[in-house]
Amino acid sequence: MCYALRIGGTEQVLATVLRYLDQQAFKPVVVTYSRDRGYPLPDGIFHYALGIQGGGRLVRKLAVNLLVVLRLRRILRQERPHIAVGMGAMSNWALILAAKLTPEKMVIVVGEHGVGATEIRSDRITANIIRLLNRFLYPLADRVISVSEGVRQYLLHDLKLPETKVISISNPVDVEAIKRLSQEPVNHPWLVSKNKPVILWVGRIETMKGLQYLIGAFERVLTEIDARLIIVGEGSDQRRIHDLVTQKGLQEKVHFAGYDPNPYRYMSRSDVFAFPSLGGEGFGLVLAEAMACGLPVVSADCVTGPAEILENGRCGILVPVGDERSLANGILRILTDPLLRERLIRAGARRVADFQAAHVVASYERLFREVCQEQSSGDSLAVRCED
C-alpha cells in the first residue's frame, strides 16, 4: 500500500523492492490511492488504483482516508493476503484500520520513512494529531520498519513500541542502474562545456526541503567563485523559490530544469550536491544516489537520515540546519580542495555499497518469511511464502 507510483522517495523504494523481490516466493499486489504512475511495475504484478486524490488540510486528508479504508477493506477481503505492507504515513494508517476491520487474518507490516516533519511544522495542532495517530495505530501492526537508526529511536522512544516489533531496513539503492543511467547524455550548456563549477539540487520543491537557504548560500558562494546552480524537480514551493532567485538577481546563474526522470545524468556531471533539508527525511535517498554517481555531498544535519548516511561527516560535509553561511562554506571547501573532494568521492562510493538493492530486498524477504512462519505457527492459516 502506497499513496502513488509517481516520482518520490517512498514510491521509488517500493518500485525498487518490487523489482528485486523474488516473484517465485512472493506474489505482490500493489494498491495506491492515486492512478499516477511514474515508476513502472514488473510484469505480472496486479495494481489496484483507488482513484482517490489526497492533499489539502489534515481534516480533508483524514476524511479521504476513511474512504480509502472502506475501499481497501474490500480489496483485502477479495485478495486475502498473508501480509499487508504499508509504505508510510497516512497509507499506513489506512492499511492498519482496513486490515483490523477485515475478518480474514493477515500480518500487518508498515514502514516509517520520516519523523522530522512534525518537528518543523508551524501548525502544532496538525503535528500533535499526527503523533497521536501514530501512537494509537502503529502498536496494532505486527512489525514496523525503520529506514534509519534515527527513525528507529523515534519508534522506540516517542511511540513506545517494543524492540521486538521494530526492525531496521535501510532504503534500497540500485547502484548499477544508477551508474548506467548516469552515463546518458544531458543537453545542458553548463554541464557540456564545464567552464564553471556546478552545484546541484534534486528533489521535490517543497518548503521543508530548505531551498531558500541554498539560494542564500549560493549567493555567498558567488562572492568567492563564479559558479552555477541547477535545480532539478518541481513542487508546491516552486513559485516562491523562483521569486527569491529573481529578487536576488541570480536568474542568469540559477537554472530550474524541472522534473527529469533521470537526474543521475546531472549528478555525474556536477561538482557538488547540496542538500539543505529542514527535516522529515528519515533516510535521504537522494544523498545515497548522488554518492553512487561520484558526486560529493554537503548536507544539512537534519533530525534523521543525513548524519547516518554520511557516517557523521566521513562521507560528506554536514552543516547546521538553516545555516546559509555554513552551507556556503561547505560548498566552497569541496570546490577549492581537490584532496577533500577525492576523499569524499571514495568514501561515498564505499558507503553506498551498504545500501545495494539486492542486499536490502533480501532483508525484506527474510522479514516476510519470519512473519509468515509466526502466523503459520500461531493459527491454521496456510502461507504461500516459500523457502
Question: Within 13 Å and on the Cβ side, how many CA atoms surround 40?
Answer: 4
Cα dist from 70 to 52, 93, 97, 141, whole Å: 12, 13, 9, 18
DSSP 8-state class, residue 88: S
Q: Give ∠ CA 119-123-129 in degrees, rounded to 5.
A: 75
CB under 8 Å to 323, separation ≥6 — which residues?
213, 300
Closest of 230, 204, 226 to residue 215, by C-alpha: 230
Q: How far apart are CA 184 and CA 168, in angstroms?
A: 34
Decide: helix, strand or coil at residue 153.
Answer: helix
Q: pLDDT per position in the chain (387 positions), as tens?
A: 888 787 677 888 999 999 999 999 999 999 998 877 777 888 889 999 998 876 667 677 778 888 999 999 999 999 999 999 998 878 899 999 999 999 988 999 999 987 754 554 456 777 788 888 899 999 999 999 999 988 999 899 989 999 999 999 999 999 999 999 999 999 999 999 889 999 999 999 999 999 999 999 999 999 999 999 999 999 999 999 999 999 999 999 999 999 998 999 999 999 999 999 998 788 899 999 999 999 999 999 988 889 999 999 999 999 999 999 999 999 999 999 999 999 999 999 999 999 999 999 999 999 999 998 887 765 433 333 333
For residue 384, the model assigns a pLDDT of 38
Question: Quick one: cell of 81?
Answer: 493476503
For residue 379, the model assigns a pLDDT of 45
For residue 113, the model assigns a pLDDT of 84
Q: How far apart are CA 120 and CA 92, in angstroms?
A: 21
Question: Quick one: cell of 269?
Answer: 556531471
What structural domains does the chain harbor?
9-172+356-378 (3.40.50.2000), 175-354 (3.40.50.2000)
CB 9, CB 148: distance < 8 Å: no
Closest of 370, 46, 12, 344 to residue 204, by C-alpha: 12
For residue 378, the model assigns a pLDDT of 56
DSSP 8-state class, residue 170: P
For residue 89, the model assigns a pLDDT of 73
Terminal Cα-to-Cα distance of the chain (whole angstroms): 24
Closest of 118, 115, 134 to residue 126, by C-alpha: 118
Q: How far apart are CA 321 and CA 114, in angstroms?
A: 16
Question: Quick one: cell of 207?
Answer: 518548503
Question: Quick one: cell of 303?
Answer: 533530525
Question: Quick one: cell of 350?
Answer: 564505499
CB 112, CB 145: distance < 8 Å: yes
For residue 381, the model assigns a pLDDT of 30
| Radius of gyration of the CA atoms of the chain, in A | 21
For residue 55, the model assigns a pLDDT of 64
